[in-house]
Each structure stands twice: as C-alpha cells, then as structure tokens.
C-alpha cells in the first residue's frame, strides 16, 4: 500500500465511521422519543434499558443501513476531492484509473467483510436482545399481538413420514387440545395417535398427552390401545409453535440453516422468508463493494453542482437498488421466484451498472 492508498482509505473510513456514529445517535434519540411511555411502564432503570434494549438496537440499525452509509461516505469525500481538484493531478501524474480505484476496492472489501461477520453472528445476537425486550415490554401492550399470542391451530410435519396437528394451542400455557399424529408408509397410514390434550412438561422436557387413543395398522390387523396419560419426545418444542416475528433475525447463520432444514421437513409456510434471509446475509456484503465502486466512479468526476449533484445521483441509484431488492423479495415470498435468485438479483443488476459507469467514466 502506497501513500495514495492510505490517503484515500483514511478519508473513506473516517467519513464512514463519523456518518454511521452520527446517524446511530439520531436513531437512538428518535427511538427514545417514540418509546418513552413503554419505557416508563416497564419500570426499568436507564441502565437496564440500555443493557436490555439499546445494546441490541444499535447494531441492528447500523447493519440495516450499513451499505447506504458506505455509499454516502464514498460520494461525499470523493466529491470533495474532485471539487478541490485532487483527482485530476493524481491521474495526470501517470496513475492509471484502475490504480486510483484500488483503495476503494480495499475499503469496500474490508467493510464488506466486517458486515459479513456481523450478519452471521453479531447482528442476530443483537436482534435477540432487542426482540426479547420489544416482545416483553412493547409488543405486550398491543392488542393485535395479544391476539396473535392467543389460541392457534397448527398443522405440520414431524418428520418425512409423520404429520401432526394441534387445535387451540395456547402459547402462554403451552397447552393444546385435540392433538393428532399419523405416520404414512407408501400410501397407507400405519400409525395414528390422538389425544384430548397435549401440554409441555417443563420438568421432563417432553410432551404429556392425556386421554390417548393409539392405533397401529399392519397388513393383517389393527391394534388399538387406550392410555390415560403418556409422555412423548417429539422433535418440536413450544418455541417452535410460537409466532415470533423476529425469529429469522434472532438466529445466527448456523442456527438459521438448521431451522430452514427443520421447517422444510415440516412443510411449513413462509420457508422462502427464511431462505431469503440466509442468502441476503452473504449478498449484502457484496452490495457494499458494488456501492463503493459506483460512488467512487460517479463522484470522481468534477461537475457543476459539486457534492449536491453527486449526492442526488447517488440517492437515485440507492433508491433504485432498494426498489429492486423489495420487488425481488415480494416475488419470492408471494410468488415462485427462487430465494437465492431473489437475494442476489440486485447485485447481479448492479454489476452491470458498475461496468457501464466504469466504461463511461473519463479516465
């Protein structure tokens, strides 16, 4: 790395970290003003609120807008360099355009790697802290969420051959009525169990079934057995039956992969949302690099309007990126677009945008 690389990198990282810090402070102030009543009702001290909520909220909001602030930082400091006629002498001295872009590559890759590490482990743990706090002290005050946590009916697969259902399951008491499960072999039901009630036994860590009627079917006969109470170790737990809107955000990537496999086995709805989250954690760091290059190429040219013109063009491109990302997500969750493609479509499109801008840039 030469002096030129260090000069540009220092500007890049300084502006980025200042912008993200400044925005985090503003986000916390706005969030505090919106949730003041909830904080008062919670009865927690300021230190407890910071520890149990804002330790998770700040990484979440930073990760959410990380690529955008990389983009803004690149456009801002590069436009200043162009306005102060620093880039023209660099290129006029014999430095090639590709060589000038090298520190942007380095900075983009570094920040992309930081975001990738955060997406896999740090941000999910932060979302776990934030989600638990909101579920306990904020969403608990919502009548909609109170209804959502009430009784629900569930139908799912336990494994490749076994299907189950629970009627009127109560997430608070971890109890359901009219439980059934049946195992299919080929086109025939070979095992069936029904119970008047199913409840989670916190001591034994298994499910207790009451008023159980068990049937085993063979080629020659059917065996029926009645049991007043029986304990079963099924591969699902109460947490799997709770409707948690933060579930996919709380899981680290290894846990998310495991959850995807489990939900695919059960034939659960909303599987594409989990898969998109999984693939997006790898795609977003590449977005950071692409936006870094786009910002450098756009802002590296001195134009009338200075930083204002560059920022306007930058925000237009960022808006197009967000729209593309939202549409691809909707087409995947509501349609038939494969989740992997949905997560990577914005990056694929903007690779061509980078190439076009690069070819058109004055060198």
First to last CA, the chain: 22
Beta bridge partners of 232: 207
Model pLDDT, residue 140: 62
CA distance 311 to 108: 19
List pLDDT tens digits, range 278-288. 999 999 999 99
Tell me the average pLDDT of the chain: 89
Cα angle 243-244-247, degrees, rounded to a multiple of 5: 130
Q: Is the pLDDT of residue 148 over 60?
A: no
Q: Is the pLDDT of residue 147 over 50?
A: no
Band of the pLDDT at 142, cuts 50, 70, 90?
low
Model pLDDT, residue 141: 58
Task: Name, of 140-149, 208-217, 263-272, 330-339, the range with top average pLDDT.
Answer: 208-217
List pLDDT tens digits, range 49-103. 999 999 999 999 999 999 999 999 999 999 999 988 899 899 988 899 999 999 9
Task: Name, of 55-69, 252-266, 301-315, the range with top average pLDDT.
Answer: 55-69
Dihedral of alpha carbons 75, 76, 80, 81, sign = negative
List pLDDT tens digits, range 193-244. 999 999 999 999 999 999 999 999 887 788 999 999 999 999 888 877 876 6
Band of the pLDDT at 316, cuts 50, 70, 90?
confident
Band of the pLDDT at 325, cuts 50, 70, 90?
confident
Model pLDDT, residue 83: 87
Read off the pLDDT of each residue in 167-172 and give the average, rounded to a whole number. 85
b/e map 96-118, b = 16+ CB within 10 Å: eeeebbbbbebbbebbbeebbeb
Q: Is the pLDDT of residue 192 over 50?
A: yes
Model pLDDT, residue 218: 83
CA distance 17 to 98: 25
Beta bridge partners of 183: 162, 191
Q: Which two tokens stand for residue 137?
A: 């002290």
Beta bridge partners of 164: 156, 181
**C-alpha torsion 250→325→114→293, nearest 10:** 180
Question: Contact at 8 Å (CB) between 129 and 55?
Answer: yes
CATH of domain 151-242: 2.30.30
- Residue located via tokens 């036994």: 201
Q: What is the pTM of this model?
A: 0.84
- All structural domains of the chain with their residue ranges: 3-141+270-360, 151-242
């Amino acid at each position: 790395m030469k002096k030129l690389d260090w000069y540009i990198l220092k500007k890049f990282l300084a502006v980025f970290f200042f912008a993200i810090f400044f925005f985090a402070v503003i986000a916390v102030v706005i969030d505090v003003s919106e949730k003041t009543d909830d904080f008062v009702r919670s009865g927690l001290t300021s230190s407890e609120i910071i520890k149990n909520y804002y330790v998770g909220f700040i990484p979440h909001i930073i990760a959410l807008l990380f690529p955008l602030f990389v983009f803004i930082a690149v456009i801002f400091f590069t436009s200043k360099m162009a306005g102060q006629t620093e880039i023209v002498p660099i290129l006029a001295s014999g430095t090639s355009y590709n060589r000038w872009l090298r520190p942007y590559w380095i900075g983009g890759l570094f920040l992309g790697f930081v975001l990738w590490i955060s997406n896999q482990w740090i941000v999910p743990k932060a979302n776990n802290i934030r989600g638990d706090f909101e579920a306990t002290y904020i969403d608990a005050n919502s009548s909609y969420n109170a209804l959502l946590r009430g009784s629900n009916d569930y139908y799912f697969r336990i494994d490749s051959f076994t299907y189950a259902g629970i009627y009127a399951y109560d997430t608070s008491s971890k109890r359901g009525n009219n439980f059934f499960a049946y195992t299919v072999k080929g086109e025939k039901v070979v095992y069936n169990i029904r119970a008047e009630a199913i409840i989670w036994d916190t001591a034994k860590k298994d499910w207790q079934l009451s008023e159980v009627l068990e049937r085993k079917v063979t080629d020659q006969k059917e065996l029926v057995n009645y049991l007043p109470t029986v304990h079963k170790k099924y591969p699902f737990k109460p947490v799997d039956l709770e409707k948690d809107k933060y579930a996919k955000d709380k899981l680290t990537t290894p846990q998310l992969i495991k959850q995807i496999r489990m939900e695919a086995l059960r034939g659960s709805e909303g599987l594409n949302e989990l898969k998109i989250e999984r693939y997006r954690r790898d795609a977003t760091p590449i977005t950071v690099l692409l936006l870094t290059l786009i910002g450098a190429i756009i802002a590296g040219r001195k134009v009338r309007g200075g930083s204002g013109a560059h920022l306007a063009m930058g925000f237009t491109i960022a808006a197009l990126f967000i729209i593309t990302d939202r549409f691809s997500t909707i087409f995947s969750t509501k349609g038939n677009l494969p989740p992997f493609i949905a997560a990577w479509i914005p990056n694929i499109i903007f690779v061509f945008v980078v190439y076009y801008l690069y070819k058109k840039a004055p060198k």
